[in-house]
Amino acid sequence: MERKIIDIVTLLVFIFLRIQASGQHLDYKTFRDSLTQLSCGQVDSLTVVNTRTKLETVDTNLISSNIDIYYRDLGWCYYRLYLETKDISFIRMASDSYDKALSHNPKYAAVLHDQFFFNYFFFKDCQKGKYYMARYKKVTPRKYWNKDEMTRLSNNCDKFRIKSKL
């Protein structure tokens, strides 16, 4: 009888701890707007810096869903900081954040697009650029492709290869 009571108490403690632990995990989308003020339009540098600071303080271990969107937002901040400073290290940080987003959502089309653009344009890494572009094409309907951009980036990569052989 005592053993049964101990087993029941142990089970109840386990259930309580499990509920406590799962209660601390969050959906990023539920608090995203309180952290970010980013848009595709004009955003001042102070807003970008403040958003980056907020995002970097988030404990990602507590995010249980939509963490891919968190890493995209963080990468977008780094990219916007590059636009303000022209410091290429921000592009590397953006690319690293995008890789983390892709590790959680390998079919994230917007991130795949940015990765092929970064690799072709900034890093001059034709192999990685082609890799991300191929993945992007697999998950994005053809009508949404920017064919001019894709051709221009591929051609620039070909020019880069020719110059490096000379």
pTM: 0.79
Residue 19 binned pLDDT confidence (cut-offs 50, 70, 90): very low
Q: Is 97 helix (H, G, I), strand (E, B) or coil?
A: helix
Same domain, 60 and 95: yes
The residue segments making up the domain with residue 95 are 31-105
**Is residue 136, in this structure, part of any structural domain at all?**
yes
**Is residue 3, in this structure, part of any structural domain at all?**
no
Domains in the chain, number: 2
Residue pLDDT, tens place only, 146-164: 999 999 998 887 665 544 4
**Is residue 6, in this structure, part of any structural domain at all?**
no
**Is residue 22, in this structure, part of any structural domain at all?**
no
Question: Which of 105, 136, 153 is the last residue before a domain boundary?
Answer: 105
